[in-house]
Amino acid sequence: MKHILYSSTVSVLLLTSGTSAFTASAVDDGLVAEAQKAIEVLQEADSGLTNLFNSSAGYAVFPRVGKGGAFLGGEHGKGLVYEKGNPIGEVTLTEINVGPQVGGQSFYEVIFFNTTEALAKFKQGHFETSAQASAVAATQGAALDTNFRNGVRVFTLARGGLMLQATIGSQQFKYKPLD
């Protein structure tokens, strides 16, 4: 048990320590291409998301979020924030959680902001997801069956892996505007 707890702790620390590689001076071309591909994949999974991409005040796209754990776990991803269809900043997503869990998974995630106020709160760092703002799997018709909660909608789409979990934790975000 000590070995599992130690391994989990080390994994979470390694997973979340890579967040300092941001440059605010220019958009990383690779990240822009990955974000665009993620948008296309999400729209293919649920054509209703196209309306949200076009009508929302803004959105944050995470092309690859990785998560893993064994009792202690974590998530990490890097993405772009868009306003009026244009990238305005980079963002990191980090979560450390605790509870029964085993495995690893990679997924796409998009957060839509219904109002400019919700987007502004996100950019100011006054936003985190929790059980109250849970994500919806992006499947055909899901966008039509969900509503904005506190000005946001969150969708995810699995890329690969398998994760079993019943954990407590919340995603936290760090935003950096582009110059």
Average pLDDT over residues 126-138: 59
Task: Tell me the pLDDT band of 31, cut-offs 50, 70 and 90.
Answer: very high
Confidence of residue 22 (pLDDT cuts 50, 70, 90): very low
What is the share, in percent, of the chain residues with pLDDT greater than 70?
A: 74
pLDDT surpasses 90 at 171: no
pTM for the whole structure: 0.78
What single string gives the DSSP state of each residue in the chain? -HHHHHHHHHHHHHHHGGGG---SSS--HHHHHHHHHHHHHHHHH-TTHHHHHHHSSEEEEEEEEEEEEEEEEEEEEEEEEEETTEEEEEEEEEEEEEEEEEEEEEEEEEEEESSHHHHHHHHTT--B--GGG--EE--TTGGGG---BTTEEEEEEEEEEEEEE--B---EEEEEE--
Residue 20 pLDDT exceeds 50? no
